[in-house]
Amino acid sequence: LKDKLSDEWWFLVGALFFAILSFRIWRKKGDDPTPKTPIVAHYKSPQNFPAAEMSTFFKGHLDARALTATIFELGVLGLLTIKEENKKLRLLKKRDPNPEELTDFQKYIFDKIFKTSDTRTLDELKHKFSNYHSYQNKILKKLKKDGYYSNLPFNGYTVLLIFIFILQAGASVPFFMFYNYAAYGTALSAAITLFFAFFMTSKTQEGVELDQAIKGFKLFLEVTEKDRLKFHNPPAKTVD
């Protein structure tokens, strides 16, 4: 019994080693630098970033909100007009974009909207952007090229940690039949390794400062929206 417990504790030590190894890899390659500036309100989009790029950078992925924001962004650029008709939003084409005026994602949205007609309602476009996620990697790669990321999602270090996880998970299965402590230790270590694998995306110092600026812009929008709602929906007057 003593020998069995001794063997199992060695497996626990090995599991702890891999957990520490995963943490050290994350600290070296996945942890972001410390911001040099605090979060302060910004009154406009940092560096005039396109909506899709700013959203993808801030969230780490491209979502439907970025798509909607890009449509309104095209309106701000003077390429389309948005009107309300019978409680529906209609998009009307104003002009074609100039060469190099739009990002690839903006051009994709513009072409999808006005491919067959110069006027469309939003309801008609519900299923026209099914493959917009394919632009996520393009945007992320551009952000890295511009110096905001040092490691992108699912990089080589992520693959390394997932490989370690697979080895650990596979090793824990037979241990459950004979060595419970070893199995639990190995399974726990595998879970920790997998956890760190999904946090291997890291920003550069410039990227961290941009992240702070985006948070400041978000703070400004939240405050102004709260004030706007108070203005349009004032509290009911009372005799007090």
Residue range 26-48, pLDDT digits in tens: 777 777 888 888 888 877 777 77
* pLDDT cut 70: percent of the chain above it: 70
Local confidence band at 205 (pLDDT 50, 70, 90 cut-offs): very high
Rounded CA-CA distance 53/33 in Å is 21
Half-sphere exposure in the Cβ direction for 59 (13 Å, CA): 15
Rounded CA-CA distance 150/34 in Å is 14
Per-residue pLDDT at 84: 87
Task: Please indicate whether residue 177 or residue 97 has the higher confidence score (pLDDT).
Answer: 97
Mean of all residue pLDDT scores within the chain:
78
- Output the pTM of the full model: 0.67
Burial of 83 per CB tally in 10 Å (0-12, 13-18, 19+): exposed
Per-residue pLDDT at 179: 56
Residue 231 has pLDDT above 60, yes or no: no
What number is the average pLDDT over the span 78-83? 93
The per-residue pLDDT for range 40-72, each reduced to its tens digit, is 887 777 777 898 998 888 888 899 899 989 999
Per-residue pLDDT at 130: 84
The per-residue pLDDT for range 141-191, each reduced to its tens digit, is 899 899 998 877 665 666 666 676 666 666 655 555 555 555 666 666 677
